[in-house]
Amino acid sequence: MGKRLFRWVDERLGTSHFARKAFDKIFPDHWSFMVGEIAMYCLVILIVTGVYLTFFFVPASGEVIYHGSYKALQGARMSAAYASSLDLSFEVRAGLVMRQMHHWAALVFLAAIVVHLCRVFFTGAFRRPREVNWIIGVTLLVMSMMNGFFGYSLLDDLLSGTGVRVGYSIALSIPVAGEWLAFLFFGGEFPNTEFITRFFVLHVLLLPALIVGLLGAHLAILWRQKHTQFKGRGRTEDNIEGSRLWPSYAAKSVGLFFIVTAVIAALGGLAQINPVWLYGPYDPAQASAATAGSQPDWYVGWLDGALRVMPGWEIRAFGHTIANPFFPGAVLPGLTFGVLYLWPFLERRFTKDRDPHNLLDRPRDAPVRTALGAATLSFYTILFIAGGNDVLSSVFRVAPESITNLFRVLIFVVPVLVFLVTRSACRSLARDHVHPFGGTVGSRVRRTPAGGYEAVDDDDPPPAEATRADLVAEAYRRPAPPAP
Amino acid sequence: MPAERRIAVLLLASTLAALGLAGVYIAGGQPQAEGALLGVALAGIGFALILWARGLSSEGAVVAERGPLGGTVEDEEAVEERVEEVTEEPGRRSVLRLFWAAGGALALSAVFPIRSLGPAPGNALLRTAWRPGSRLMDTDGRLVRVDTLQVGGTLTAFPQGAEKAGDSSVILIRLEEGQLQPRPGRESWSPRGYVAYSKICPHVGCPVGLYQADTHELLCPCHQSTFDVLDGARPNFGPATRSLPQLPLAVDPQGFLIAQDDFDEPVGPGFWNRD
């Protein structure tokens, strides 16, 4: 039956020619190549759970009175959007698990994208000929962050409404065009009745379509250019070593999909996320006890931290104002993503390295790049932690002013230290050929007949370039397959 | 245990969990059980697939040639030639320019519908719903009288008849008479120790709701700006750059608190044309 169907399709589309070649496509076995796949599989989960949620969510800000089964809010006035979020959590069977899986998948999706980006950055995988895929990848990150924010905002609870207001205020702070931009994007002065419907269209239609389309391009380019690979015996710029797509890689990758989904499902069922019923409906004049000490989703934490550590400065001149939130809220992300987009070209400019690269650097091979990357990560990590300055202040019983001032210092000092330490660590690792997971460092000793110990001059040291990874690769190596 | 046996156990566990999941749903649903069973059902298949993949192929690592990425020079030249045949001929170039012009104009005209997405900013950011004589109403819909608050008390108030106006919320605080050091020109704005400030943080618009009576400070819970209530709500710390706008208050003959007028400056976050 399967065979007949395959023939039927092949006679009409010529599938067998493509499949035969595709089955032999080689994928590297290194674990770090799995992270991008995790992101892709999270996207699949997001789409499936997201479609289910759209059947129940009402993207409208019209006021309703709640009569559902959650007693604490019965009789409360709220938007239809918030009421439907409560209903799909409490009234719809399997609805809460779907909603929590959707939220968890979004958090893991962005985490996987960021780790994937780090992998590509620290191994130099963005270099020629892969600049275009780097740019597409950064765009996917930006769009995914935006879509996470829109989705979070749709529920119209007290926390999300505050987040939208912050976004509106940042838009408003943009010089010259800010007022118009904010009014056109949010549909007028905030709070208003327009933005939920608008965000809904962006969240379920426009951005997902762009993300899926760009991911398709990302994968097609990967397919065409083939994966990079780490250096190792027998690996050159002109070959690629790994498993064939069929059967081992396909089975492993589909297995990974099921495991990622299993983890998201377990989180969705067992780990509560964004319990909007505790926050109450959005009310622009209220910040309830439930929202004190609350933090945004992790991937916007650095922006919240930047808003918090920014001193109370702004520019007022010639009858105009460049308001304070513009700098942490618009300039910082602009610089962040601007530098990310340009990185392959900036690096090429400084290293003068214009050659195509299919062999990856180990992070130590490029000490300055690695140190810059580590310093940058420390910068955003500090901003992220600074986003919890109120929590830190109450946990450690220190005045929020002191905590904030501390972060204002750390934000400049720590990245410099991280840069220096990382650069020197990379240089000494590269000089001594130390592999963190292989080889032994130190000297050999021999027990003498008298019961003492004496150092042995190692006459046969392992070859300096060989690491355990190489030896393992060697052990597994088989002759190249005959060309199909 | 041999691999086949482990795969069989995993798949059996997955099957049972999936059937259990269906059972939980039929029985009315239970989020924790649904998540856990779905997790087991999926993880069973996932791990079984990976165990299975190990045994599928014994060939280990395989090496293949990459092959060239770019086309040949002949390919490139041939494509360029075919394009130039069309674009470089003198008569066609002027027509092409007209195509570009028409396309550009069309793209430009397609920008205009964006204007329909929102109203013009106009005065919206400069004014609130407070009018001379507006009575203060609390969040439960009660009008605020001169004896509503005791010294040290606070409440959130809106102009009567505009309880939905998001830009008009104020935090009303009753201080000891004479405690406040009014700014020049604001001496008559705080009758009987009542002072009202806009509740919208001038940083990014969060409600400035936390009043610390011992230090007379208002704290914004979002980004920790603090404001000195006795000194015209001047920012003490944090990212806020401006004082909270003060609403000029008065007491009407019936003993209700009223606004003398709208705020004398825009409320909320800063923007280009604020001043």
DSSP per-residue letters across A457-473: --SSPPPTT--HHHHHH
Among the partner-chain residues A173, A243, A285, the one whose CB lies closest to the CB of B269 is A173
- Cβ contact (<8 Å) for B270 and A314? yes
Q: Which residues of B touch A329 (CB under 8 A)?
A: 204
Where residue A434 falls among pLDDT bands split at 50, 70, 90?
A: low
Which of A37, A78, A93 should one mutate to test binding to chain B, selecting the residue with the greatest count of B CBs within 10 A? Answer: A93
Report the pLDDT value the prediction gives residue A484, as an integer from 0 to 100: 46
Among the partner-chain residues A169, A258, A291, the one whose CB lies closest to the CB of B46 is A258
Contact (CB, 8 A) for A49 and A98:
yes
List of residues 6+ apart from A172 with CB closer than 8 A: A178, A179, A181, A182, A323, B125, B269, B270, B271
A57 at B interface, C-beta within 8 A: no
Where residue B14 falls among pLDDT bands split at 50, 70, 90?
A: very high
Give how far the C-alpha of residue A166 lies from the chain's centroid of Cα atoms, to the nearest Å: 22
Render pLDDT for A23-64 as a digit per residue (tens, 0 to 9). 999 999 899 999 999 999 999 999 999 999 999 999 999 999
DSSP characters over A112-138: HHHHHHHHHHHTTTTSTT-HHHHHHHH
A253 to chain B, minimum CA–CA distance in Å? 8
- Cβ contact (<8 Å) for A180 and B34? no
Question: Considering only A117-121, B107-111, B137-141, which range has the smallest mean pLDDT?
Answer: B137-141
Report the pLDDT value the prediction gives residue B275, as an integer from 0 to 100: 82
A476 to chain B, minimum CA–CA distance in Å? 6
CA dist A171 → A203, A442, B204, B242 (Å): 19, 59, 10, 19
CA distance linking residue B70 with residue B93, whole number of Å: 30
B116 to chain A, minimum CA–CA distance in Å? 8
- Cβ contact (<8 Å) for B166 and A191? yes
Q: Which residues of B touch A234 (CB under 8 A)?
A: 63
CA distance linking residue A289 with residue A210, whole number of Å: 38
List of residues 6+ apart from A237 with CB closer than 8 A: A356, A357, A358, A359, B66
Question: Considering only A131-135, A444-448, B2-6, B216-220, which range has the smallest mean pLDDT?
Answer: A444-448
B96 to chain A, minimum CA–CA distance in Å? 29
Smallest CA–CA distance from A257 into chain B, residue: B46
Higher pLDDT, residue A294 or A359: A359
Where residue A170 falls among pLDDT bands split at 50, 70, 90?
A: very high
| Residue A470 predicted with pLDDT over 80 | no
Q: What are the strands of the beta sheet with B62-65, ordered from one edge?
A: A26-27, A239-244, B62-65
- Cβ contact (<8 Å) for A390 and B221? yes
List of residues 6+ apart from A363 with CB closer than 8 A: A122, A123, A370, A426
Report the pLDDT value the prediction gives residue B155, as an integer from 0 to 100: 93
Name the maximum alpha-carbon separation found in chain B. Answer: 95
3-state helix/strand/coil string of A318-363? CCEEECCCHHHHHHHHHHHHHHHHHHHHHHHHHHCCCCCCCEECCH
Contact (CB, 8 A) for B256 and B144:
yes
CA distance linking residue B17 with residue B262, whole number of Å: 64
Nearest to residue A107, comparing CAs of A147, A143, A141, A148? A148
Question: Considering only A336-350, A413-427, B78-92, which range has the smallest mean pLDDT?
Answer: B78-92
List of residues 6+ apart from A435 with CB closer than 8 A: A467, A468, A469
* Long-range contacts at A340-347 (CB < 8 A, ≥ 24 apart): A340/A117, A340/A138, A340/A141, A341/A135, A341/A138, A343/A121, A343/A126, A343/A134, A344/A126, A344/A127, A344/A128, A344/A130, A344/A131, A344/A134, A345/A131, A347/A127
DSSP state at residue B231? G
Give the number of other Cβ atoms within 10 Å of residue A214's Cβ. 16
Q: Determine the average pLDDT of the residues in A100-107.
A: 98
| Residue A4 predicted with pLDDT over 50 | yes
∠ Cα A327 A330 A335 (to 5°): 90
The position carrying tokens 């780990």 is A271
Where residue A475 falls among pLDDT bands split at 50, 70, 90?
A: low
Among the partner-chain residues B28, B62, B272, the one whose CB lies closest to the CB of A241 is B62
Q: Determine the average pLDDT of the residues in A120-146.
A: 97
Report the pLDDT value the prediction gives residue B165, as an integer from 0 to 100: 82
Nearest to residue A212, comparing CAs of A102, A48, A99, A337? A48
Mean pLDDT of chain B: 92
Q: Which residues of B touch A221 (CB under 8 A)?
A: none
Which of B26, B272, B273, B275 should one mutate to test binding to chain A, selecting the residue with the greatest count of A CBs within 10 A? Answer: B272
Write down all domains in chain A, each with its CATH number in brackets: 26-333 (1.20.810.10), 362-438+461-478 (no CATH)
Strand B217-219 vs strand B226-228: parallel, antiparallel, or unpaired?
A: antiparallel
Which of B137, B199, B200, B222 should one mutate to test binding to chain A, selecting the residue with the greatest count of A CBs within 10 A? Answer: B222
CA distance linking residue B25 with residue A469, whole number of Å: 48
Strand partners, B211: B218
Among the partner-chain residues A162, A270, A311, the one whose CB lies closest to the CB of B35 is A270
Q: Determine the average pLDDT of the residues in A394-407.
A: 90
Smallest CA–CA distance from B35 into chain A, residue: A269
Render pLDDT for B216-246 as a digit per residue (tens, 0 to 9). 999 988 888 999 999 999 999 999 999 999 9
Where residue A310 falls among pLDDT bands split at 50, 70, 90?
A: very high
Report the pLDDT value the prediction gives residue A435, as an integer from 0 to 100: 62
Report the pLDDT value the prediction gives residue A284, as an integer from 0 to 100: 83
Among the partner-chain residues A24, A172, A269, the one whose CB lies closest to the CB of B35 is A269
B210 to chain A, minimum CA–CA distance in Å? 9
Q: What CATH fold (topology level) applies to the domain B136-259?
A: Rieske Iron-sulfur Protein (2.102.10)
Question: Phi/psi at A455 (nearest 5 deg)?
Answer: -70, 145
List of residues 6+ apart from B122 with CB closer than 8 A: none
Q: Which residues of B touch A316 (CB under 8 A)?
A: 275
Smallest CA–CA distance from A234 into chain B, residue: B63
Which of A259, A403, A476 should one mutate to test binding to chain B, selecting the residue with the greatest count of B CBs within 10 A? Answer: A259
Render pLDDT for A188-247 as a digit per residue (tens, 0 to 9). 998 888 999 999 999 999 999 999 999 999 999 999 999 999 998 889 999 999 999 988
Report the pLDDT value the prediction gives residue A2, as an integer from 0 to 100: 86
With both helix axes pointing from N to C terminus, report the angle between B90-109 and B73-87 in degrees, rounded to the nearest 10: 80
Strand A229-230 vs strand A359-360: parallel, antiparallel, or unpaired?
A: parallel
B110 to chain A, minimum CA–CA distance in Å? 16
- Cβ contact (<8 Å) for A255 and B158? no
Among the partner-chain residues A241, A262, A401, the one whose CB lies closest to the CB of B46 is A262
CA distance linking residue B220 with residue B200, whole number of Å: 9
Where residue B42 falls among pLDDT bands split at 50, 70, 90?
A: very high
B89 to chain A, minimum CA–CA distance in Å? 33
A residues 407-466 near B, CB within 8 Å?
none
Where residue A88 falls among pLDDT bands split at 50, 70, 90?
A: very high
Nearest to residue A253, comparing CAs of A34, A30, A105? A34
CA distance linking residue B96 with residue B89, whole number of Å: 10
- Cβ contact (<8 Å) for A178 and B271? yes
Q: Determine the average pLDDT of the residues in A453-465.
A: 60
| Residue A466 predicted with pLDDT over 90 | no
Smallest CA–CA distance from A249 into chain B, residue: B53
Which of A27, A29, A189 should one mutate to test binding to chain B, selecting the residue with the greatest count of B CBs within 10 A? Answer: A189
Nearest to residue B38, comparing CAs of B13, B18, B12? B18
Q: Determine the average pLDDT of the residues in A444-458.
A: 76
Q: Where are the domains of chain B?
A: 3-56, 73-117, 136-259
A residues 304-363 near B, CB within 8 Å?
304, 307-308, 310-314, 316, 319-325, 328-329, 356, 358
Smallest CA–CA distance from A263 into chain B, residue: B39
Smallest CA–CA distance from A237 into chain B, residue: B66
Render pLDDT for B16-37 as a digit per residue (tens, 0 to 9). 999 999 999 999 999 999 999 9
Among the partner-chain residues B25, B43, B238, the one whose CB lies closest to the CB of A258 is B43
Contact (CB, 8 A) for A65 and A76:
yes
CA distance linking residue A463 with residue B10, whole number of Å: 43
| Residue A399 predicted with pLDDT over 90 | no
Q: Determine the average pLDDT of the residues in A168-180.
A: 95
| Residue B1 predicted with pLDDT over 80 | no
Q: Which residues of A touch B155 (CB under 8 A)?
A: none
Q: Determine the average pLDDT of the residues in A128-142.
A: 97
Report the pLDDT value the prediction gives residue B2, as an integer from 0 to 100: 85
